[in-house]
Chain A
Amino acid sequence: MDDRAEMLGPEKAGRETAFSRPFADTAPAVAPAVGRRRGRGWMERSEVRSLYLLAAFLVAAYALPFVIGIRYGTVRWDAEWLGYLGTVVLSGFLQGGVYAMFAVGLTMIFGVMRIINAAHGEWVMMGAYLTWAAFFYLGVDPLLSLVFTLPIAFVFGMVVQKLLLNAVVGQPELTGLLVTFGLGLTMIYVAELIFTTDFRTIPYAPHSVQITDSIAVSQNKLISFTMALAISVGVYFLLKLTRIGKAIRATALNAEVAMVCGVNVGLIYLITTGIAASLAVAGGALVSIQFGFNPETGIIYTLQAFTIIILGGRGHYLGALIGGFMLAVLESLVSLMIPNGTAMVELAAYGLLIAVLLIRPGGLMGVKEG
């Protein structure tokens, strides 16, 4: 615990990664070092510069699929193609809401415990299988099954916290990463034993809804988006307004001070991981009604969640939401314009992750550097 307090000290402020500074908005988490005051204006010169950088990066990232598409002739500027474009971007946007929802769980665990949960995608995968099992064996509607899959996920999260994560809180970040990586692999093997490596799908509300004459999206995408948005907004207000939510934020900002304010930090850890697992499982339910999945699908979701957090910067809540939309829209552009695009979609997340880390190790949004 004391190491944590040290970590959050001012001397640490200079070398932050995108993962540090949980739920940060603008101000430093800890009082500025003695005799050295930080600027109070909400935007300093360096921040303006980084905004330009951000804009340039995004233009480049979103332009690249167009450039490649033009090169391979997949881009046509006729009305029909523009209709496709609109459709694809809209479904990407809708998908973004679901991504954002499970990425938020990753942010919360990191923010509160400084643990990078490498099993996050497997939790999503678990959600997909729970939904599938409920649907096929019990005939329960995939959305209705959230009523019991979410409590199951919450308990699962608490058990993982108790048995695994409590042992690595306060340890170097690599320890937590390795332990959760091991958890993820174990979950993959268990899922393969139970469900085999076959791809599963849940047919659910596949019909299209015509948005304009040329733009249409499937019902299940609209339903998923609405659910994801409702859950994300719900958790946002839980963190912002409720007593327990404030305690979670306070613990993320400074666990030691939260303790001396009377917060039972051990309990907050349990609740945080419970919420994060619930968000991941809800995400799994919502992707399972749109896409096929097998036990290894989770790896992609882990990667996406990491990318979103890096995009969102600092692991802050709204940053994760915005990052979710940014990644999903980019993926949709790639799938439309690059030949063999669906296989390239995973590359989009990788590429974006690596590009951001090369250009700004601190993450794209928010973090001030040197």
Chain B
Amino acid sequence: MPDSGRAPVLSLSEVSAGYGPIQILHEVSLHIDEGEIVAVIGPNGAGKSTTFKVIMGLINHLGGDVVYLGHNLVGLRPDRILGLGLAYVPQGRVVFGQMTVRENLEMGAYLERDKSRIKEAMDYVFTLFPRLGERPSQVAGSMSGGEQQMLAMGRGLMMRPKMMMLDEPSLGLSPRLVDEVFDKTVAMARGGLTVMLVEQNAARALEISDRGYVLELGRNRYQGTGGELLDNPDVRAMYLGGGVRGA
């Protein structure tokens, strides 16, 4: 495992988790260092989204440690975790459909009381996603899929997080918008954000990532730098299937 020499922002060691009595994750370990983009790939149902949910305190934690910047996240409520600077953008472009773009972004800054900081964060989001800035009063549910994804990402930026977990941001988008989403992800990382990215679009994700993990049936399977995984024949055969992009 290559050591970037940077401090880990988030590390999971042997984390098990599930829904009610059903265990999905079996002793998953991974870590993300400061400023990295780390991709988590794997087939449908591998437990990628579940990994995000257990980090965020949304589901049953059955064992193992989740440590974020020295804080043990196990047992913390999602709002506390967000308060520590860890943002999560769920799968499926989930925005508040009946709220306007501005209201969605305000919800992203729900924990921020300082109006001027909210304004600054919103200006940053509008700079990064100009199309949101053009239509702050549009009802989110009436926007295109790509715009909704940008809004979900923008909402995740409103608390000025140190790290963001992005679940399948390119899912179901047209190729042009997929490019745009990946470009924005890289742009956010350049702005100092540590990014953990789950993607079906494994090849594209690994191209922009420093490192990656492959999960299978709720367990660690492979890990390495983006390049190593892209060159690994097993990974190629299973997830990068003959150069086909996407799932």
Contact = CB atoms under 8 A, between A and B. Distances in A.
Interface of A: 1-2, 9-10, 23-32, 34-35, 37, 40, 243, 246-247, 249-250, 253-254, 256-264
Given A262-B82, A263-B110, A30 B53 contact: no
Interface stretch (B98-106, B176-184, B210-218, B221-229): B98-106
Nearest to A247: B110
A261 B58 contact: no
B77 A264 contact: yes
18 contacts: A2-B58, A10-B92, A24-B98, A25-B98, A26-B141, A26-B142, A29-B141, A32-B145, A37-B145, A246-B99, A249-B98, A250-B110, A253-B99, A256-B94, A260-B88, A262-B82, A262-B83, A264-B77
Interface string B73-113: 00001110011000110101111111100010011101100
Given A40-B142, A260-B90, A262-B79, A30 B97 contact: yes
Most buried by A among B103, B107, B171: B107
A29 B97 contact: yes
Interface residues of B, number: 38
Contacts of B95: 31, 257
B59 interface: yes
Interface of B: 19, 53, 56, 58-59, 77-79, 82-83, 87-88, 90, 92-99, 103, 106-108, 110-111, 139-142, 144-145, 148, 155, 159, 171-172
Contacts of A9: 92
Contacts of A1: 58-59
A27 B142 CA distance: 6
Contacts, number: 103
A250 B96 contact: yes
A261 B98 contact: no
Nearest to A40: B142
A367 to B, nearest CB: 14
Nearest to A253: B96
B139 A256 contact: no
A259 B78 contact: yes
Contacts of B171: 34
A39 to B, nearest CB: 10
Contacts of A27: 97-98, 139-142
B245 to A, nearest CB: 16
Contact of B98 (A23, A37, A243, A263): A23
A261 B53 CA distance: 14
